[in-house]
Amino acid sequence: MRKYQQIKVVPLSSAIGAEIGNVDISKDLSSTVITEIRSALLDHLVIFFRDQDLSDPERHKMFTEYFGDLFIHPNFNLGQNNPEMVYLTRRPGDTAAAGERWHADTTMMENPPMGAILFALEVPDWGGDTLFANQYMAFENLSQGMKKLLINLKAVHNDSRVAGPAVGLNSKRATKVREDEDWTLTENSHPVIRTHPETHKKCLFINSIYVHHFEGMSVEESQGLLEFLYTESTRPEYSCRFRWKNNSVAFWDNRCVQHLAIHDNHSATRKMQRTQIIGDAVI
């Protein structure tokens, strides 16, 4: 395991996840600390910080910009003062929640976000945990025959399940998205097996929210294999579970991680704010 000089790194599981200590990410950070945080992200795929103060959106954005340019989400850009900031809120009575199915974020984009940084403004005393799954392991543990089948396949990703006037999510939850008549579909195809641009390792790159079918195949022809891959990619042994507290932060590598927000406390409020980082083309 890599040795860190400036930060403390405590793994959460053998597969994915680590808590980071000995750093205040709301302050100016040295290049050495930034390098170590990025190394921890590459080593553990998702990293967590406790007792931080990113409630000021400018502080949150400042920390994010150490790792790349800020991404503006096309479906959460509702005219707010900080278009780079997404607010994810669940209130009592919500019958749906953002991210309650396994997914990687915003993969319908030509260049999907490299990562996301989520800060807990207000969380319930119990529930509302988030699961994260290692997509390197999801690829590595496939059979050689399956790897050979998938290596040249592309999947078609679009956002028709999560935005637009036909989807009806705004009537079910406090987190709002664009459902106006001027909304337009965003769709792109990406390799099912991608190569991470920094680690150069291969990982599975599909998810059940954005993927609709394999390129060159119908939805019906694609369904069986996609369902197998969705199940395989989120096996418990590839995952970790993070219990939120107020002022906790999660920073995940969207290129090789899927995650799921558990919607299990229907009587409490949960308020989060999130930034995303512009990513590279999927190859």
CATH code for position 128: 3.60.130.10
Helix (H) / strand (E) containing 193 = strand 193-195
Does the pLDDT of residue 1 top 80, yes or no? Answer: no
Give domain status of residue 220, yes or no.
Answer: yes
Tell me if residue 178 is catalytic: no
Q: How confident is the model at residue 79 (pLDDT cuts 50, 70, 90)?
A: confident
Give domain status of residue 12, yes or no.
Answer: no
Tokens 């970790």, residue? Answer: 240
Question: What SS3 state is found at 238?
Answer: helix
User: Of the residues 103, 173, 178, 263, which is catalytic?
Assistant: 103
Residue 93 CA to residue 212 CA, distance in Å, equals 30
203 forms beta bridges with 194
User: Of the residues 60, 196, 259, 263, which is catalytic?
Assistant: 259
Q: What pLDDT does 81 receive? A: 86
Residue 226 CA to residue 28 CA, distance in Å, equals 44
Tell me if residue 103 is catalytic: yes
Residue 234 CA to residue 195 CA, distance in Å, equals 19
Give domain status of residue 31, yes or no.
Answer: no
What amino acid is encoded at 62 in this protein?
M
pTM attached to this predicted model: 0.97
Give domain status of residue 53, yes or no.
Answer: no
Tell me if residue 173 is catalytic: no
Whole-angstrom CA distances from 252 to 158, 160, 232, 242 are 22, 24, 20, 12
Over pLDDT 70: what percentage of the chain? Answer: 100
User: Of the residues 73, 178, 255, 274, which is catalytic?
Assistant: 274
Contact 190, 211 (CB under 8 A): no
Give domain status of residue 43, yes or no.
Answer: no
Tokens 């999801």, residue? Answer: 138
The total domain count for the chain is: 1
Sheet arrangement for strand 211-214: 187-191, 154-158, 211-214
Give domain status of residue 14, yes or no.
Answer: no
Nearest Cα to Cα of residue 73 among 113, 104, 103: 113
User: Of the residues 105, 157, 196, 255, which is catalytic?
Assistant: 105
Q: Which domain holds residue 142?
A: 72-243+252-277
Tens-place pLDDT, residues 241-281: 999 999 999 999 999 999 999 999 999 999 999 999 999 99
Q: What per-residue string of b and e applies to 204-226 under the rule 16 or more CB within 10 Å gives b?
A: bbbbbbbbbbbeeeeeeebeebb
Residues 65-91 have a mean pLDDT of: 95
Tens-place pLDDT, residues 5-21: 999 999 999 999 999 99
Q: Which segments of 23-85 does DSSP mark as H helices, in order?
A: 31-44, 57-65
